[in-house]
Amino acid sequence: MPALPIKLAENVWRIPTLGSNLINSFVFEEPDGSITLVDAGMKGAPKKLIGSLAAIGKKPSDVKRILLTHAHYDHTDGAAAIRLSTGASVHAHVDDADYIRLGRRPPIGYPGPLGRVFAYVGTRMRSCEVDETFSEGEVLDVAGGLSVLHTPGHSPGHCSFLHSQSGVLITGDALFNFRDKMSYSFALFCFDPKLSRDTADRLGESEYEVAAFTHGPEIRRNARAAVREFLAKRKG
Ligand SMILES: [Zn+2]
Ligand SMILES: [Zn+2]
């Protein structure tokens, strides 16, 4: 029995594809009932996503777009299968698009021996065609407007998304909330760990009520204050 999508706000849902919130995808619904997915999970995720959407009466053909926050396998490995089974177009930031097309993870910039080991582990991903690219400041035509916040560092083209209409921020991997504990993305997975922390700081500047994380549960109330408190503590 697939999990029911978890409603975050009007026309916005979360669907976990691993555990109850270890890896999440997000769903935006248009007035005509069509769907945009944010992130496609690992290779087992498509079945869960399609099943979960079916539980709220959605057909595969209702999925029109798949936005990818960045080129890491836990976000992109399911993309090609969903694209194929739904006919949806795939969209990613221009700086990560070729990594997704080639199925290559961006380099890891963690220093020292551990970084050198990780540089050679998990470099292959499932490739997926990217039909369109986006970049900083664009407002995508998704559910009344979805703003692209380029938050590079975790990967070169990593993006967060802000849906002002519903007050939902999707952090992607710019911030984690594993086990309800907010953190910067783990440095060992980052293209440029320092840049990732620096650009995550901009997430304290936008206006939103709900913060939705790829990794971990959402914060449903006063999320901006919680994010700002975390960022201030880290800087202080
Ligand atoms: Zn990642
Ligand atoms: Zn991730």
Q: Tell me, what CATH number does 189's domain have?
A: 3.60.15.10
Assign 115 a pLDDT band (cuts: 50, 70, 90).
confident
Assign 119 a pLDDT band (cuts: 50, 70, 90).
confident
Domain, as residue range, for 128? 6-235
CA of 173 to the centre of ligand 1 (A): 5
34 domain residue, yes or no:
yes
Of the candidate ranges 18-22, 33-37, 118-122, the one whose mean pLDDT is the lowest? 118-122
DSSP letters for 190-221: -SSHHHHHHHHGGGGTS--SEEE-SSS--B-S
CA of 205 to the centre of ligand 2 (A): 22
pLDDT of residue 236 exceeding 70, the answer is no
pLDDT at 122: 79
CA of 73 to the centre of ligand 1 (A): 8
139 domain residue, yes or no:
yes
| Residue labelled with tokens 């949806």 | 88
pTM above 0.75, yes or no: yes
- Beta strand segments in 138-178, E: 139-140, 146-150, 159-163, 168-170, 175-176
**What value does the mean pLDDT of the chain take?**
95
Domain count, the chain: 1
226 domain residue, yes or no:
yes
98 domain residue, yes or no:
yes
Q: Which residues pair with 134 in a beta bridge?
A: 93
1 domain residue, yes or no:
no
